[in-house]
DNA sequence: ACCGGTGTATTACAACACTAATACAGTGGC
DNA sequence: GCCACTGTATTAGTGTTGTAATACACCGGT
């Protein structure tokens, strides 16, 4: 199973595609907290990009407390994800939904259509961590 | 009533803040289709930025078919918004909700919390265009 | 035709983004 | 201690982004 896959022609920066995929897999449960990520060189080689590009992706993720990098050891999904105060989280959520709704309405989508899309996505992204 | 307000220190480019606000007001009904926008120079002066910055914002919006620019006349909210094919729209919506859910889960938000935030936003942004 | 409003085109430039190359440094099994 | 693996630091080049300055062109009322 190929965890990482990028499109060099998509216009979105490689390092950001990598970041997005790590975050997606974390949200979807494909990558559980504590799990080791591919090494910088290995991932760079398999994606055919310069190692520094992966360094950037990993560094940003580490700065977001999403992964943890240990010198000489490797990079790992952060064991205990950062907790954000409920209020702050609420504010951020509103910001995100606001963006969503503004653009959705621009597309001509009705309320139901928006809700449905959300439901589908919620359904698709396995929310509950698999109880091993 | 001040329609436009920017924060030069927010890190997000001024031209993009302007774009976002136009789109927001359009979605919220504050700016109805056909309505005239402030002229480039006027808005530039009132925001204390270079006119070229507003030019960029307006141009991008025009390119998105959100506004219409008429040489010598001014800029206007596009009278009839572009319609996007339902499938394409659905795909785009899914992309947006995906982003939302991934980040929301990163914040530790549960499904209910996400749904609630969306409901609040839907409620806040007046969805039905005022039937004149 | 004029004039004061409107948008347009060209050019410039500093800052930043993105990727790359290369040499350095920690870690752990042998 | 060595070696093969890990991440780190430094430097740099290329392109794009974001803003600005200036001169040009259209529109409509007079």
What is the rounded distance in angstroms from the CA atom of residue B110 to the CA atom of residue A98?
A: 18
| Chain A contact present for B7, CB below 8 A | no
What is the rounded distance in angstroms from the CA atom of residue A20 to the CA atom of residue A36?
A: 17
Chain A window 68-107, residues with Cβ within 7 A of nucleic strand D: 69-75
**Cβ pair B93:A114 closer than 8 A:** yes
Q: In sequence order, which residues have a C-beta less than 8 Å from that of residue A80 and are 6 or more positions away?
A: A33
In the predicted structure, residue B8 carries a pLDDT above the cut 90: no
| Chain B contact present for A24, CB below 8 A | yes
**Cβ pair B100:A98 closer than 8 A:** no
Q: Are B22 and B66 in contact (CB under 8 A)?
A: yes
Residues of chain A in contact with residue B115, where contact means CB-CB under 8 angstroms, are 118, 122
Q: Are B97 and A118 in contact (CB under 8 A)?
A: yes
Chain A window 15-44, residues with Cβ within 7 A of nucleic strand D: 37, 39-42
State the nearest Cα–Cα gap between A60 and chain B, in angstroms.
15
Tokens of B95: 């992309």
Query: Could you tell me what percent of chain B has a pLDDT over 90?
Result: 80
Residues B68/B72/B74/B78 CA torsion (nearest 10 deg): -20
**Cβ pair A114:B122 closer than 8 A:** yes
Q: What is the pLDDT of residue B127?
A: 58
The residue of chain A nearest to residue B108, with distances taken between CA atoms, is: A83
Tokens of B84: 């996007």
CA of B3 to C1' of D2 (A): 69
In the predicted structure, residue B128 carries a pLDDT above the cut 70: no
Please count the other Cβ atoms lying within 10 Å of the Cβ belonging to residue A19. Answer: 20
Residues B7/B11/B13/B14 CA torsion (nearest 10 deg): 10
State the nearest Cα–Cα gap between A8 and chain B, in angstroms.
19
Of A19-23, A67-71, B4-8, B96-100, the range with the lowest mean pLDDT is B4-8
Q: What is the pLDDT of residue B3?
A: 83
Residues of chain A in contact with residue B83, where contact means CB-CB under 8 angstroms, are 108
Over its length of 132 residues, how does chain A's per-residue pLDDT go in tens digits?
678 999 988 999 999 999 999 999 999 989 999 999 999 999 999 999 999 999 999 999 999 999 999 999 999 999 988 788 889 999 999 999 999 999 999 888 999 999 999 999 999 986 554 444
CA distances from B124 to A23, A73, B121, B127 (A): 29, 49, 5, 9
Averaged over B49-75, what is the pLDDT? 95
What is the rounded distance in angstroms from the CA atom of residue A44 to the CA atom of residue A52?
A: 8
Burial (CB count <10 Å: 0-12, 13-18, 19+), residue B4: middle
Inter-chain contacts counted by CB atoms under 8 A, chains A and B: 130
What is the rounded distance in angstroms from the CA atom of residue B87 to the CA atom of residue B101?
A: 21
């Amino acid at each position: 199973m190929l965890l990482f896959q990028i499109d060099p022609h998509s216009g979105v920066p490689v390092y950001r595609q990598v970041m997005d995929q790590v975050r997606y897999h974390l949200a979807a449960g494909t990558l559980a907290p504590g799990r080791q990520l591919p090494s910088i060189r290995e991932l760079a080689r398999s994606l055919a990009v310069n190692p520094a590009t992966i360094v950037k992706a990993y560094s940003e993720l580490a700065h977001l407390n999403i992964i943890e990098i240990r010198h000489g050891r490797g990079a790992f999904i952060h064991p205990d994800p950062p907790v954000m105060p409920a209020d702050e989280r609420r504010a951020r959520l509103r910001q995100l939904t606001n963006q969503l709704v503004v653009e959705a309405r621009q597309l001509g989508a009705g309320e139901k259509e928006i809700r449905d899309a959300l439901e589908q996505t919620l359904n698709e992204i396995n929310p509950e961590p698999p109880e091993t």
